[in-house]
Structure 1
């Protein structure tokens, strides 16, 4: 006991050494700043990069192209990155978390500098980059919404990949056989529910490890869809695997907004449904009786049971609801994007969606932003490859996964999900 404690009768908290979680953001920003200096200054490129904001259609308001001197802007961005990395030390010294807006500004500045460095001598179609990013993000957002609901209810949903894949397969076949895209969308939701039903049955009723069940279901759905594709769809693709595309719906007025108008409001119905899904899940989760019950069985099932909530039934039906949402996202691959089912058409999108749930802190809005980030990274590697970026193609293919790992490990690190997530509830 110190002299101050003895005389005042109070306990003084010792100034303990920094733990990793206190300064990991500082280390992360400093590391990125060092890489920025190496790339933008040491290996800087001379020349001008042009950003095009045309939508490819007749725009009501034409936004002129933006030309950026790559070397000068890169030097300025590198200096700003170093200063901001140093500035984060003040938050660390004060034991305060670095604000999200601070990290966002840091990331945006370096992103523009990187795009200018990578597209020297070329024109980067910025509007097209955003539109493609949204297209790749749609199934990720649906998957993330299903993951948030399921895990908030207390069930770890590793089976998002299987739900997306089953929704993609069933939607293509049903839409083709019935000549109705609406029937295809409903069938995709039913397929997602079926996979979730199996997950819920084993995890909730029989107390099987939820992660193991999810991994097994992903492998089962992948094998089953591949088998049916090879033995059925490839034999007569015109009959079973040539569904109609969803038509593009233009929202009058909003679609004329420069840059973001064509990106957000010249889309198919399934893209508009993802806007609705995010809003409904967020509002329902935090502002309705349903959301309160859902969160209670995921945080403290014993307390929920005490006030009369049937914990396992609430979990079961909400996991099924999550499957319906994810299955709808699977339909985007066949009815809104590719146009036909192919083997492993989801290509691990379910796992990226699961990472978005964790990165977003099990919050629908933040998980959506995380999914958009991963979709942007995925589309960026395609665009840079098309315009002839000096970055090797193998590194470009790694980009979305590197961004996922850096985002989850570098910015999130150790995070706490719902308290009872992954834990079966046995009524005492």
Structure 2
């Protein structure tokens, strides 16, 4: 199976291991603007965003295809563009004022805030490039001394650590309390589990209440707005499902989870396409194995180019521990393998975990992306064959199937 351009690592609250994030606390000038010079990376996608320093909610986003390059430079992320162009420079502007008031392109407004958290994201650098797609780190124009490598590392550590700890501390107590409501061995995971698109933080309780005596409370959870999924920097939307390998037929609980579905068309950037695919349905697709959301540790991610598909565009992914990986769960057999969450759910249940499906930047005419799920419960009707199905088998059962599909 082909390997990603970026080495595997552990990511928290970012969900995807093929996403590299640089974060920093940025003081926004009272008057004037802060300018950052950069180059378009050789990668699948890139995005900028500003977040509120207290609520951690997104403020503004600038996607790669929206970035206006310098004069004489073409944006390599626009559909049909030359991805190999040598001139790749552009400037991002951070200001307390609106883009209309600033009168320049690529403005990220802080909406008047004197301090924001600035995020820069890169997905899947091209094969042979470094983790930043050979573009380096953005440089502040006019005062680079304030942004030395050491200061950037400190700012990144502070911003991300605060985000992790605040989220985990806030969500863990209600998560454990709600998990106890079900009083089942595997809850909230069930054999015929369903995928839930992310809408807002309160709705994360839905899987914990469903199929319990408190199921009636699910309808009382807020249904809108979609929340950060609608305006994250990369136009990402996520659906997740709780899983537990004890749900299968093997009496010792050493089962495998078989995930199948149709793969949307995505650019083949890691494999070296020179032109940005103008027929892509999604910019990026991935499936991650992770702990329960409050801890939010992702231990492995498969992105679209790592998943073989058959002539009909269908894929089969086996999720298991390394010890229980079926012998026919290999690329040459048309099967991708995703390791089970190495930490289980992160709360003592080693057999449990969460799968997270990411859809990024759908084409205007692709109506089956998670972004188009209008409300809870509409996932299956909107996504159709692009919403994964799953079943639990023993390792022996899968090996006997000889080419599942």
TM-score (ref. length: structure 1): 0.24
Higher helix share: 1
